Every structure is written in structure tokens, then in C-alpha cells.
Amino acid sequence: MGFGDLKSPAGLQVLNDYLADKSYIEGYVPSQADVAVFEAVSGPPPADLCHALRWYNHIKSYEKEKASLPGVKKALGKYGPANVEDTTESGATDSKDDDDIDLFGSDDEEESEEAKRLREERLAQYESKKAKKPTLVAKSSILLDVKPWDDETDMAKLEECVRSVQADGLVWGCSKLVPVGYGIKKLQIQCVVEDDKVGTDMLEEQITAFDEYVQSMDVAAFNKI
């Protein structure tokens, strides 16, 4: 398993393909699996890797809460598609470390004091994490359609205006121009919002305020995440 080198274009492409039909590295909520992979990526993926970029921006919004996300962080090579070789250093040493310390003891040999201490410490950490019930912030993924006045509207400037809308709990994602007819194209842009802080009414009010470029804004898709 693994993604390969996540600091290389090839590794980021594997990550993008893996996230094409997934919101998270594991399961249906952000977890320590996402934190482990996020920390291995050197920065935001390029815009053409929209699935990886969408995931990166979403997990980045949990930066202050990442320590409280559920799960136990594993070696990077424990995540990702099964048909990709784990090239991380931790992947090469995990099996050796596991052999060195038997966390659950063995019937065939006497458990050393050091192994016993480590086993008890790790079991205590596991029980402590299991007992925690972190409060996850409710978030939504929204796809917006922003329509210009006509085919002469500067769409680059229109998108610049839309992205200039900033708020706590708002992260902009991928965008593209979609033909609507008569040479006119609309801007389709994705964002992730914290439900308690940002609503569609606020987005519409601020985006349509750029009335020199924007004729209207509609919500094309709205999904809880």
C-alpha cells in the first residue's frame, strides 16, 4: 500500500486518482489518516489535480483541530491503494519495529520489562484516545454557478472577485468555465464552508455585490461532509 513519494508529481497523481471517489483517506469523516497524508504533502497540489486539491484545502481547514480528530496515526505506507509500493522510510522499518517489540506478549518467550512497559503505555494511550469524543465541526461542500452579464465580461476578473470573498470557515476550491450559449460562459466554482459560520445567503449577497461582472449566483450542488 501507499502513495509513493507525495512530494513528487507521480505521487500526487496517485493521491488525486485515489480521492476521485472519496472525501477522506479512510472512512467518512476526517481522521488521523488524513492528518498523516496531509503532513507528507509539501504544499497545495496543482489546480489540475482537483480531487487532491479539494481534499488538501478541506483538511487544512481542520488545522487547529487535527490533534482531536479520531483514529490512530499510522505509518504513511499503511494508507492508499493496495497496488502502489510503499517507498517511505517508515514503510521499510515498520515491520522491523513490530518484530522488535511484541505489544501483546508471547506464550513462547518471557516478556521483557521494557516490552511490558511499552505495551502498557500504548494500550493506555489507545484507551485514552478511544474514550475521547471529539466534536467535529459541521461542514458542507458547495458548488456555485456564477453568471456574467454577457460574452464580453472579463471572466478572469469575475473569478478574482469571487475568490476575494473571504470569511472564517470558507475555503475556495477548483473552478472551471462552462458554456451556457451564445458565446457566454458561466463560472462554476467549489467551496467548503463551516455551516455555523458561512451560509449561501451570505455568499450570494457578497458575490452579487460585484454587479459590474456578476449577473446572478445559483447553488448547483450542496453536500454535507
Residue 113, pLDDT score: 79
Residue 95, pLDDT score: 42
Residue 128, pLDDT score: 74
Contacts of 100 (CB under 8 A, 6+ apart): none
Enumerate residue ranges in the chain where pLDDT < 50: 90-109
Paired sense of beta strands 214-224 and 184-194, if any: unpaired
Q: How is the chain split among helix, strand and coil, in percent rounded to 5? A: 40, 20, 40
Backbone angles phi and psi of 110, in degrees to 5: -75, 135
pTM for the full predicted model: 0.45
- For 144-171, the pLDDT digits (tens) are 999 999 999 999 999 999 999 999 999 9
Residue 105, pLDDT score: 47
Query: Within its chain, how far is the Cα of 213 from the centroid?
Result: 31
